[in-house]
């Protein structure tokens, strides 16, 4: 099975988020970037497929050269080769547009990625890729097996789970459950050393699709002090909710 795992290069979850002085982009000073955790579940599941059913695992990222360490980490964990599409991932549509031509040309059997990236949490790319390619798509996938070119996937739905079947090739947007946190792999030292000998191909951007443009980022306003109202003074509470919070 020829598998492609799409990897986002995102700030570590403990990062303190600051914006540049013009407010137009993230200030990356001192920020450690990691493989998007949702994508890491996808990558681990892909490696299981490879180890059990055979095949290959390619990782791809849409980004500039600064994202290569993240791809090399994926190689260190066990991916066979990596591709970087040399473009700024401006929005979900731009990323999806870059990915589809690669996927179509390389004829992957399965494309897995995280259901969202933890930086902008757009949750757009997997669905867009599937739609643009007109391939089957399973979102919020928490378990999957493949037999004879047919995938049986479990996906999370409101209040329960749904089991669906789809023929390969297909797009899967995964999350925890696809594998568990304890299954995530720490690259071993030999893996890190072999990562430098594995192919990392850079291909030029093929799409100029930009649907949106970031004008400004701002942090949420700080929390205001809590106002305490005596439990028998309902009038004061109503007054505050109506006149100050304008909630009622």
Partner 1 sequence: MNQESNVKGGEFIIKETQANQVFIPEEFSEEQTMMAQATTEFVDREVWPNKHRFEKKDYAFTLSLLKQTGELGLLGIYVPEQYGGLGMGFNTSMLVCDRISGATGSLSTAYGAHTGIGILPILLYGNEEQKLKYLPKLASGEWIGAYCLTEPGAGSDANSGKTKAVPSSDGKSFSITGQKMWISNAGYADLFIVFARIEEDKNITGFIVEKGTAGISMGEEEDKMGIKASSTRQVFFNDVVVPAENLLGERNGGFKIAMNALNVGRIKLAAACLDANRRIITESVNYANNRHQFNQPIAQFGAIKQKLARMAMKHWISETATYRAGQDIENQIASFEAQGLSPQQAKLKGVEEYAIECAILKVHASEAASYIADEGVQIFGGMGYSADAKMESAYRDVRIARIYEGTNEINRMLTVGMMLKKAMKGELNLIGPAMSVGKELMEIPSFDLPDADTLFAEEKDSLKNLKKAFLMVAGKAVEKFGMHVEEEQEILMAAADMLMEIYHLESGILRAEKIMAMGKDASLQTDMLRLFWLEAVEKIASAGREAIYSFAEGDEQTVMLMGLKRFTKIRHNINVKDVRRRVADKLIAENKYCF
- Least Å distance, CB 37 to partner 1, is 12
Interaction between residue 16 and partner 1 (CB under 8 A): yes
Structure tokens at 15: 């990062």
State the Cα angle at 40 between 99 and 2, rounded to 5°: 50
Quick one: how far is CA 147 from the chain centroid?
26
By CB under 8 A, which span of 78-86, 93-101, 191-199, 208-216 interacts with partner 1? 191-199
By CB under 8 A, which span of 103-111, 150-158, 185-193, 198-206 interacts with partner 1? 185-193
Structure tokens at 5: 């795992």
Q: Which is nearer to partner 1, 150 or 193 (CB)?
A: 193
Interaction between residue 76 and partner 1 (CB under 8 A): yes
Quick one: how far is CA 55 from the chain centroid?
23
Parallel/antiparallel/unpaired status of strands 110-114 and 2-6: parallel
β-bridge mates for residue 35, sequence order: 9
Interface with partner 1: number of residues (CB under 8 A): 16
- Least Å distance, CB 175 to partner 1, is 19
- Least Å distance, CB 46 to partner 1, is 20
Binding mask 84-113 for partner 1 (x = CB under 8 A): ------------------------------
Q: Which is nearer to partner 1, 181 or 239 (CB)?
A: 181
Give CA–CA dist 144/91, Å, rounded: 28
Candidates 26, 118, 192, 229: give the one binding partner 1 (CB under 8 A).
Answer: 192
Phi-psi sector, 23: left (phi>0), alpha (psi -120 to 50), beta = left
Cα–Cα nearest to 126, from 234, 222, 5, 14: 5
Interaction between residue 188 and partner 1 (CB under 8 A): yes
Q: Which is nearer to partner 1, 197 or 230 (CB)?
A: 197
């Amino acid at each position: 099975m020829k598998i492609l795992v799409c990897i986002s290069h995102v700030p570590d979850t403990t990062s303190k988020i600051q914006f540049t002085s013009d407010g137009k982009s993230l200030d990356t000073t001192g920020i450690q970037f990691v493989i998007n955790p949702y994508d890491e579940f996808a990558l681990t599941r892909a490696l299981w497929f490879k180890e059990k059913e055979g095949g290959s695992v390619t990782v791809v990222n849409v980004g500039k050269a600064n994202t290569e360490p993240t791809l090399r980490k994926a190689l260190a964990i066990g991916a066979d080769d990596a591709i970087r599409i040399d473009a700024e991932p401006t929005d979900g549509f731009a990323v999806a547009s870059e990915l589809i031509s690669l996927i179509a040309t390389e004829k992957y059997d399965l494309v897995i990625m995280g259901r969202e990236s933890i930086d902008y949490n757009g949750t757009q790319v997997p669905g867009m890729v599937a739609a643009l390619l007109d391939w089957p798509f399973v979102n919020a996938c928490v378990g999957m097996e493949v037999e004879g070119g047919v995938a049986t996937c479990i996906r999370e739905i409101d209040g329960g789970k749904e089991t669906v079947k789809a023929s390969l090739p297909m797009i899967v947007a995964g999350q925890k459950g696809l594998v568990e946190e304890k299954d995530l792999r720490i690259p071993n030292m030999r893996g890190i050393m072999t990562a430098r000998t594995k192919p990392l191909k850079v291909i030029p951007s093929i799409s100029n699709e930009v649907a949106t443009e970031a004008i400004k980022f701002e942090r949420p306003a700080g929390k205001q002090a809590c106002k305490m109202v005596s439990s028998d003074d309902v009038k004061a509470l109503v007054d505050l909710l109506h006149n100050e919070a304008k909630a009622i």
